[in-house]
């Protein structure tokens, strides 16, 4: 069904929205870690996409370049990006020396004064590569700014980081560990 790239992208984005932000509106009730049964997600997706199979969901999980999803047994979840309450089911890990955060220039003063906060999400999202942070920032501005996060130093001072693959999460990053590139 999803040989069409646009329909594949549409399905991926819709799955992200449902699993990260509004599962209840689609009759889904995630466990504390954000997992729902694949069959229940499939039922919710059929209302929007019609003929869809579990293999279509699996293809989205496997082929998503941002590695947004995770399947464990009969369940699926979004790995990051939640505005709903979820518990991370992994221990914090030591980050690389530096991580990056891309955003709008309008946020410079606020971030330098108050640090990075999750805003409408549950965790701050950081990138391992400057280029990825730039792409994230492009969602907020045509000319995004990139902050360098002194992640290893912050970790040594008690800030927790959670490596989710391409994205590293943190509850907050105080301003003393942030500098503008």
- State the CATH number of the domain containing residue 56: 1.10.10.970
| pLDDT: which is higher, 120 or 175 | 175
Q: Name the pTM for this structure.
A: 0.81
Helix (H, G, I), strand (E, B) or coil at 63: helix
Helix/strand/coil (H, E, C) string of 126-164? Answer: EECCHHHHHHHHCCCCCCCEEEEECHHHHHHCCCCCEEC
What are the distances in angstroms from CA 138 to CA 101, 106, 131? 11, 13, 11
Q: Residue 133 — φ and ψ, nearest 5°? A: -65, -35
Domain membership flag for residue 84 = no
Structure tokens at 82: 């939640």
Count of the separate structural domains present in the chain: 2
CATH of the domain at 168: 3.20.170.30
Range of the domain at 36: 5-78
pLDDT at 21: 94
Which residue, 18, 45, 78, sits at the end of a domain?
78
Q: Average model confidence (pLDDT) for the chain?
A: 92
Domain membership flag for residue 153 = yes
Domain membership flag for residue 89 = no
Which residue, 45, 78, 111, sits at the end of a domain?
78
With a pLDDT cut of 70, the percent of the chain lying above it is 98
> pLDDT for 21-72, tens place per residue?
999 999 999 999 999 999 999 999 988 888 888 999 999 999 888 888 999 9
pLDDT at 51: 82
CB 114 within 8 A of CB 89: no
The model's confidence at residue 94, banded by pLDDT at 50, 70 and 90, is: very high
Q: Which residues contact 109 (CB under 8 A, 6 or more apart)?
A: none
Domain membership flag for residue 88 = no
């Amino acid at each position: 069904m999803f040989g069409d790239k646009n329909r594949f992208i549409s399905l991926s984005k819709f799955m992200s929205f449902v699993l990260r932000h509004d599962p209840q509106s689609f009759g889904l009730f995630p466990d504390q870690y954000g997992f729902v049964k694949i069959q229940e997600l499939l039922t919710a997706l059929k209302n929007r996409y019609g003929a869809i199979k579990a293999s279509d969901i699996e293809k989205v999980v496997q082929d998503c370049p941002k590695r947004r999803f995770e399947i464990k047994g009969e369940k699926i979840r979004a790995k990051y990006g939640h505005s709903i309450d979820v518990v991370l089911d992994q221990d914090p890990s030591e980050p690389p020396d530096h991580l990056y955060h891309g955003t709008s220039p309008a946020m410079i003063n606020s971030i330098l004064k108050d640090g990075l906060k999750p805003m409408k999400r549950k965790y701050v999202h950081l990138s391992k590569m400057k280029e990825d942070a730039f792409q994230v920032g492009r969602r907020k501005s045509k000319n995004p700014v990139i902050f360098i996060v002194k992640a290893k130093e912050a970790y040594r001072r008690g800030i927790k980081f959670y490596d989710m693959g391409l994205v590293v999460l943190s509850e907050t990053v105080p301003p003393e560990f942030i500098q503008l590139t």
